[in-house]
Structure formats: structure tokens, C-alpha cells
Structure 1
Amino acid sequence: MKSFHYKDATYELDEQGCLLDPKTWTPEFAEGMARECDIPVLSGEHWDVIRYVRDAYEKTGICPTIFAACKASGLRPQEMQKLFPTGYHRGLCRVAGVHYRVSHMPYGAHLRESMADLRALSADKVYSTDVRGFLVDPDSWDENFAIHRAAEMRIPGGQLTDEHWRIIYYLRDVYQVQRRIPNIYETCESCDLDLDSFEQLFPDGYHRGALKIAGLRFVK
């Protein structure tokens, strides 16, 4: 845990430099953090986007995606990049005092206490998949499906790590809240990953790897 001091106030940050508790955010925090994110002065356009992110987070408890923020603000991704040069997650979200945390739980907290418990709960469950192994009904997905599907893939070490679950639950959260599937660029941006890191986690790719494990599929 880190500390950030600005104008006689001290704020607690997480290991990525984001505000630990979004409720402690203040406009003064935004001003100070903006300077840390290569923004000397916050303009009215900056504040419009910051307020959208704050309002969306306070209403839903979920950090909005970059595409939702662009749409609400009437900005193109390139224009958003000019406003927040260090990026959406490492720039705008840091300044706005929100951070994408999977379902507001520590990574891996979605898992049962043990694999044995999980298998016992789902031992008799039957999943309907298409000819390529994609789950037909995304709402029938559970962690048991993800674990068994991942075992059939080239996941490093053969097991899903906290980092895998962070991405899987990001995909699931976006689908459940917005009924859409984010693309790989949005996923990498929101999960603070580059494409090389993503490929190392899911060697089978975005569609045939991450989405399949998350019980999602693109339907033409």
C-alpha cells in the first residue's frame, strides 16, 4: 500500500497507484493525481469525463469501460488518449479515483474453498455446447465449466491463476451488466495488460481461449 500527499491531505493507494477507497476521492485528489498522470491542468473537458466516471461508478459500483466513457462524453478513443496521455486505466480512472476490481472482491475470491467442493457441487451438471466447444447459454456458466474447459487448453501450468480469473470475471461482468462482449483491446485496457501478456495467459487466443473459458462467444 502506498500513500499520496497533496494539499495537506493524504490518500491511500493500492500497488498500482490507484485510490484504495473510491469514497475518499476529492476534487483536490484529482488535481494532484492529474499531475502524476502527465496532465498539468484539468480543463473543463477533463472534468466532464471525470464526473461521468465518478457518477457511473457511484450508481453501479462498476468502473465503466473506455468505450462507455467515450460514448457518454462524445469522444473518440484517440481524443480520450490526448486528454489522458497515460491511458484510460492508468490515467482517467486513477484521476477519477476508481479502479476496476473484479466484482469488488480480491482476485480469486470467486473460487470455492477447494476444487473438491466445486466438483461436488457441479458433478452432475450438463453443459450444452456447440460443435466448437462454446457454451450455448452464457447464463449457465459457472467456475466448474471454466476450470474443465481450461484443462483442455494450453493454459500455462494447466491451471487458472488469479490473473486468469481477473480477466474471466471482467468478461463475465461486462456481459452480465451490459449484455455485450468486449473486444480484446477493451479487455486489455480495462485489465491493464498488453497484448503480449494476454497471449501468455491465453495461448489459444482471445476468442478460442479467454471467451470460451468465460462461457461467451461471438454470434454472427
Structure 2
Amino acid sequence: MPVLQVNGKEVQVNDEGFLTDHEQWDESVALHIAQSHGIDELTDRHMQVVNFMRDRYIEEGTAPTIRSLGKLSGVAIKELYQLFPKGPAKLAAKIGGIPKPRGCI
């Protein structure tokens, strides 16, 4: 199983780079993943989406889809694509340390 090295700690990921245990996540892991996808800084708006994704996953056991993310997170779909250019739901989930949302390729 692949491993990320983040600030001296090992974080287990699957073959697509998603954390296998969401409890290994912290903001340093989030920033490391974001930077590896071309996002140099995680703004408050990024973190609003990431924390929404994490909260929904922890409460419901699944990551929200892009449609529910746009409706319920407080961030419009157009802005989601500006924040997370290559697939907002998938990338926000990866940065948030949760599994890939259903329906994402």
C-alpha cells in the first residue's frame, strides 16, 4: 500500500492517493495533498469545503456528491471549480482525507 511522508509521519493511501484512514488526516496532510495537485495555499474557502466534506463523511459515512456540495456547503458550483479545478468533489475529498465520492471517475 502506498504511503505519503508528511512532516516525518507516514500516512497510508490507496492507489489513487486517497487516505485509507480519515483519522490520519490533519491540516498538514491537507496542504501536502493540495500542493501536489497545484493548489499552493488552502484559503478559508478551501477549508470551508474540505471541512464540510469531512463532516458529511463522518456523519453519514459517504462523501457528498458535487451536486449536494454545491447546494449545501455554502460555496456555489462555479466557485468550487475555481477552488478545486480538476474535479471539485474528488479533489476536495482527497485533500480532506476521505474516500472518493460516489459517481466520481
TM-score range for the pair, normalised by the shorter chain length:
0.7 to 0.9
Who is 2:46 aligned against? 164
* SS of corresponding position for 1:126: strand
CA contact (8 A) 1:154 1:203 kept: no
Who is 1:149 aligned against? 33
Who is 1:182 aligned against? 64
5+ residue gaps, structure 1, are 1-121
Larger radius of gyration: 1
Who is 1:134 aligned against? 18
Give the TM-score, by structure 2 length: 0.81
Instruction: Report the CA distance between 1:149 and its aligned residue.
Output: 0.4
Instruction: Report the CA distance between 1:137 and its aligned residue.
Output: 1.2
Instruction: Give me the identity figure in percent.
Output: 31
Identify the structure with the greater helix proportion. 1
Name the count of aligned residue pairs.
Answer: 97
Map residues 10-21 of structure 1 onto 2, 5 A cutoff: none
CA root-mean-square deviation? 1.9
CA contact (8 A) 1:207 1:217 kept: no
Who is 2:87 aligned against? 205
Give the Cα separation in 1 of the matches to 2:82 and 2:89. Answer: 14
Give the Cα separation in 2 of the matches to 1:216 and 1:138. Answer: 5
Deviation sequence 1:158-189 (CA, Å, 0-9, x none)? 10000000000001111122222111111111
Give the Cα separation in 1 of the matches to 2:60 and 2:49. Answer: 16
CA contact (8 A) 2:70 2:76 kept: yes
Instruction: Report the CA distance between 1:192 and its aligned residue.
Output: 2.4
Give the Cα separation in 1 of the matches to 2:81 and 2:38. Answer: 11
Give the Cα separation in 2 of the matches to 1:151 and 1:180. Answer: 25
Higher relative CO (Cα under 8 Å, sequence separation at least 6) belongs to 2
